[in-house]
Every structure is written in structure tokens, then in C-alpha cells.
Amino acid sequence: MKFKKASDTNRYRKSRRLTYMKPSEFIELSLPQKPNVSKYDPSYYEKESLANLEKRMKRGLEIDAPSFDVDIKHKVIVGHAGRHRAFTAHKLGVSKIPVYMYYKEGPYYIEQLGTDVKEVERFKPKKELLGLHLK
């Protein structure tokens, strides 16, 4: 299974950091999409997307590495991309996946989205889990 490196032309490259984590850690840290369904239940995900990813991963084709957006001011995860990739990797027994952390600075996402900080406080990543120093 191959993961693509983030492009150096990415506008956030200066605030980007690469780490590795278990697919289950990514799944746990991702923001909930369906509150009443377990993130480990395949019905939580789009069936066609999972099937396509599984085929690509088994064939050894490159896929984009998952990522998190982190609000630096509040030190919380405010977005993610890659929950289908992480779930498929988990299902296939992959031990670690690369994950890009994009640190966002003002205007801060939480205020931008009109979300109360207390609502996202539970998504504050544990430093020891991510192996990163949050600014």
C-alpha cells in the first residue's frame, strides 16, 4: 500500500507536519459524521468509496495520505480528510499510516465556522497520541 506525499505546492506546506499513527487512532480523532453510528460500522462510510479504496490498496496503487486540520489557537482538530482511507487500512490490518497535520492560523476556523469552542474541546488531540508538539 502506498501513500502519496503532500505536494510542496500546497499552500499550507510551511505549517504542515507528517506523523504516523494507527488507523484506529485516526478514526477516533476524526470528527463524527453520523452521531448514532459507530465509526467502526461499515455503514458509517460510503460503500462504493470503501470498495474502490480497498481495490486500490490491495493493488498497491498510491492514494493520498489522510490529514487533520488543527486550529493552533484552541489546539483542537477542526477538520479531517481520509476517514474512508483510515477505515480501509484498519480493515486490511495496516499497522501505521502517514497523516499530515495542517496547522491553521487566523482567522481561526472555530470562529470562522461559528462553532462554540466547548463543542470541539473533546477533539483536542493528546500530544502523546499524535507524537507532536502542538504550537
CATH of the domain at 112: 3.90.1530
Give dist(CA 46, CA 62) in Å, integer: 20
7 is a domain residue: no
Rounded to whole angstroms, the Cα distance separating 36 from 114 reads 23
Q: List CB contacts of 50: < 8 A, sequence separation 6 or more.
A: 42, 84, 87, 88, 91
**Domain span at 53:** 14-130
For a pLDDT cut of 90, what percent of the chain falls above it?
27
Q: pLDDT tens digit string along 40-92?
A: 888 888 999 999 999 999 999 999 999 988 877 767 777 889 999 999 999 99
Question: Residue 47 class from Cβ within 10 Å (0-12 exposed, 13-18 middle, 19+ buried)?
Answer: exposed
**CB-CB contact of 81 with 3 (8 Å):** no
Residue 114 domain-assigned (yes or no): yes
| Domain count within the chain | 1
Nine-digit cell at 30? Answer: 476524526
Q: How confident is residue 118, by pLDDT bands cut at 50, 70 and 90?
A: low
**Confidence category of residue 18, pLDDT binned at 50, 70, 90:** confident
Confidence check: pLDDT of 95 > 90: yes
* Global confidence as pTM: 0.74
